[in-house]
């Protein structure tokens, strides 16, 4: 199973990962992204701690995902083989139980479609948009068990 690993010592909270995710979600490139469009969303975010430290947050594809348990429509599932939590937006009923149950705040309401929205680790890609666009090399997509996740 792959998970996103963040080396917080390398991360400078530049939000390059957020912009890359936003661009991927809108099927455009970062240079063409309309930052004044408030409907643009990213499946990750950079959050500030109480101590003022900034760090990126991503869907952890939890071992026991509460979002999957809370999903009444069956739109959220966890693949037994890859352990990746996936969202079928066509099945999403917009009840927001997943949004309320995610303890990391990583599932969001898509304001354009009125269904849930979350990180899918850039399905069907070798690399993820956030990893490819991190100028500091602070974000990696690694196999669980490599000692860092």
State which H helix or E strand residue 24 sits in: helix 16-25
In this structure, the dihedral spanned by the alpha carbons of residues 38, 62, 60 and 125, taken in order and rounded to 10 degrees, is -90
| pLDDT level of residue 147 (50, 70, 90 thresholds) | low
Predicted structure pTM score: 0.70
Upper half-sphere CA count for residue 24 (Cβ side, 13 Å): 25
pLDDT in tens, 26-38: 788 888 888 888 7
pLDDT in tens, 73-98: 999 999 887 778 888 989 999 999 99
- Number of neighbours of residue 125 by Cβ within 10 angstroms: 13
Q: What is the pLDDT of residue 144?
A: 64
User: What does the alpha-carbon distance between residue 2 and residue 113 come to, in Å, rounded to a whole number?
Assistant: 28
pLDDT in tens, 50-72: 777 777 777 878 888 999 999 99
User: What does the alpha-carbon distance between residue 21 and residue 19 come to, in Å, rounded to a whole number?
Assistant: 5
Among the ranges given (40-44, 69-73, 132-136), the one the predictor scored with the smallest mean pLDDT: 40-44
């Amino acid at each position: 199973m792959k998970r996103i690993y963040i080396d917080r010592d390398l991360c400078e909270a530049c939000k390059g990962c957020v912009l890359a995710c936003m661009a991927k979600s809108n099927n455009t490139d970062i240079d063409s992204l309309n930052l004044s469009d408030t409907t643009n969303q990213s499946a990750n975010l950079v959050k500030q701690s109480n101590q003022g430290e900034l760090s990126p947050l991503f869907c952890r594809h939890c071992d026991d995902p509460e979002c999957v348990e809370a999903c009444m429509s069956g739109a959220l599932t966890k693949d037994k083989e890859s352990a990746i939590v996936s969202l079928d937006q066509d099945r999403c009923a917009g009840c927001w139980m997943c949004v309320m149950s995610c303890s990391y705040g990583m599932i969001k309401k898509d304001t354009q479609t009125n269904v849930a929205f979350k990180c899918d680790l850039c399905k069907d890609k070798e690399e993820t948009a956030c990893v490819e666009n991190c100028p500091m090399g602070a974000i990696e997509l690694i196999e669980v068990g490599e000692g860092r996740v």
